[in-house]
Amino acid sequence: MPHLPATWKERKEADLDRRVERIQRDHKFQWLRTRKIRRILVAISALLCVGIIPAFVLAGAIVGIVVTIAAWASWWLLRISVRTVADLPERFLDERQLAVRNRAYVYAYLILGWIVAALATIGLVAFVLVSENDSVTLTTTWDQALGLVLTLTLLISLLPSMVVGWSEAGEQPTKLIAES
């Protein structure tokens, strides 16, 4: 009698195994895995991420949510394009993929660090400039706060896949049957 997954954790693990197997062996989305398409996806993802805050601030919550969904969709495509290498647990990766993932996280950390440092510096400088008379009232709306939180959350999730997508060469077509 075959072993049936009993617990919730076992079912979740089995489901993850199936999904990873599917994406690692996938040939259907091979058109997404060329260097050119990967870099286009990275550029689109970056633009959409950067666009979330202006969308919320300038055009309102509805447009902001639409841009956020578009950014999420581009992330989804980018993950398929790089076979989710940046997001998988170690046990699913071979030694080359693991090296790629680890390198991507170092770069992603550096990029995120620079972005956060730049945002904090700009914010502080702006605050110092406008608060010369010590009577500044800072106001913000829920939409603006939501835009900032969504941008940072998406950036944290996206950056490793973006680094992999930008730096990795496109996949070579492979013959499933050996030539004689």
Partner 1 sequence: MLYSIYATYMGRRSKENEPAVFSRLEEWRLDRGLSRQELSDAVSVHYQTIGYLERGEYSPSLALALQIASELDVPLEELFSLQPFTKSRKGV
Could you list the residues that contact partner 1 (CB under 8 A)?
A: 24, 83, 94-97, 106-107, 110-111, 169, 171-172, 174-180
Residue whose CB is less far from partner 1, 20 or 65: 20
Taking the complex as a whole, how short is the minimal distance between the CB of residue 124 and partner 1, in angstroms? 23
Taking the complex as a whole, how short is the minimal distance between the CB of residue 20 and partner 1, in angstroms? 11
CB contact set of 81 (below 8 Å; sequence gap of 6+): 29, 32, 33, 37, 38, 41, 165
DSSP 3-state of 53: helix
CB 55 within 8 A of CB 77: no
Residue whose CB is less far from partner 1, 113 or 123: 113
Taking the complex as a whole, how short is the minimal distance between the CB of residue 44 and partner 1, in angstroms? 21
Handedness of CA 33, 34, 35, 37 (dihedral sign): negative
**Pair of tokens at residue 130:** 């406008």
Residue whose CB is less far from partner 1, 24 or 144: 24
Taking the complex as a whole, how short is the minimal distance between the CB of residue 110 and partner 1, in angstroms? 6
Residue whose CB is less far from partner 1, 56 or 166: 166
* Amino acid, res. 91: R
